[in-house]
Structure formats: C-alpha cells, structure tokens
A and B are shown apart, each in its own frame.
Chain A
Amino acid sequence: KNEVEQSPQNLTAQEGEFITINCSYSVGISALHWLQQHPGGGIVSLFMLSSGKKKHGRLIATINIQEKHSSLHITASHPRDSAVYICAVRRAQKLVFGQGTRLTINP
C-alpha cells in the first residue's frame, strides 16, 4: 500500500461543477502539499498545509491531521483547471507523492 493514496485517479466533469479530490496518508507528516501539473508537464505548487484550511481564488484545501486526510476543492470549475493534481506529504525534508488525479473539465 502506498504511503499516500489519492482518489479518484481520474475525474471528468462539466464546466461549472464543484470538484473534490481526496488524499489519505498513513504516516506522520509535518506538512502536506498540493501540486498541479499542466498538460505541458510543468509543476506548480498550489498549497502547503499543516492544519485547517487555505483558500486561493477558486481553490480550497483542507486537512484533518487526526484522520490523516486532505481534500482539494475547486469551485466553478473551468476547462483551464484540467491538469493532474498531486498530493505530497512532507516527512523530514522529503516529499512523498501520491499518484495524482487527472482532472478533465469539459466546456
């Protein structure tokens, strides 16, 4: 079993829908990151969380340390949100990655 599990692996939705991507981890961590990888391959860091919730524009990330679970939400989704979203947990100074969730938003 991977230390970091994401669900779903693939998600297709219509423009405007509310999107939720989940991440569960099995080890103690100091922080959790959400990354976005565009179709062209570039990786961008979206959030770093150690507790609670963070919001940036239409993106919201939450974490429950007790349950070892985090969610990434996208409100009013748009085709430009289509990308692979990767959850990564920080242990010491290393990041351990989930397999990613491929999100496709159709117009």
Chain B
Amino acid sequence: DAGVIQSPRHEVTEMGQEVTLRCKPISGHNSLFWYRQTMMRGLELLIYFNNNVPIDDSGMPEDRFSAKMPNASFSTLKIQPSEPRDSAVYFCASRLEETQYFGPGTRLLVL
C-alpha cells in the first residue's frame, strides 16, 4: 500500500484565495483525521471522520474551514477565504485499530 496520500505537497497562495487540500486514506481504514501543525501551537486536531461521517469538528478554527469525506477513499479540507495565519503544515491520518498512519503533509503558505 502507498500509505496515506496527500496533495498538493506544497501550496503558496495569496490571502483571500480558496485553498483545497486533498487526502486519500489507506484502503480499509475507517477513521480519518485532519491535523494542523504550527511552530507556535504544535499539532492540533481539526476534525475527524468515522465511516465517512464527521464526528468531531470542534477543532476547526472558524467557518472559513470546512471538510468533507464523500467516500471512504477521499477527503478534502477547504479554506475559504485563506488568511496568512492559516500558514501551517496540514496532515491527514487514517487509522486501523489503535495506530494512526500519517500522510506526508501539505505545507501551506498564505501570503
């Protein structure tokens, strides 16, 4: 298996633009997590899904952030409009039993 796949790996955009991050979990994993990592705050959970259903989105910073999981093999995290303070590395992870498998991350820079 290729592991968790995220795209793009890097994104540079201007403030106000829409950003869409994509994740393909490992086949057979039924839980998917979106995390954000910054120097100031470390790793933070944004939202997670069980069987494609959003369970807890209390970590989503504000209404500019939204996440979807239309099927078991694909999820998106959208920021609209983006702001410079959204600059971070965004990780997607999928879980089988107790172990989470992290994707390589998307490094986002909002100018």
Contacts and interface: CB of A to CB of B under 8 A. Distances in A.
Interface of A: 31, 33, 35, 41-45, 48, 86, 88, 93-100
Contacts of A43: 91, 93, 102, 105
Q: Does more than half of chain A's interface fall in helix, strand or loop, or is it mixed?
A: strand
A94 B48 contact: yes
Interface in B18-43: 31, 33, 42-43
The 4 closest A-B pairs by CB, nearest first: A43-B102, A97-B43, A48-B98, A99-B42
Given A43-B91, A45-B101, 19 more contacts: A33-B100, A41-B104, A42-B102, A42-B104, A43-B105, A45-B99, A45-B100, A48-B99, A93-B31, A93-B50, A93-B55, A94-B45, A94-B48, A94-B56, A95-B45, A96-B45, A97-B43, A98-B42, A99-B42
Contacts of A48: 98-99
B67 interface: no
A35 B42 CA distance: 13
B79 interface: no
B102 A44 contact: yes
B44 interface: yes
B11 to A, nearest CB: 14
Interface in B57-111: 89, 91, 93, 98-102, 104-105, 107
Contacts of B100: 33, 45, 95
A97 B48 contact: no
B45 A41 contact: no
B39 to A, nearest CB: 10
A41 B50 contact: no
B56 to A, nearest CB: 6
A48 B107 CA distance: 27
Contacts of A94: 45, 48, 56
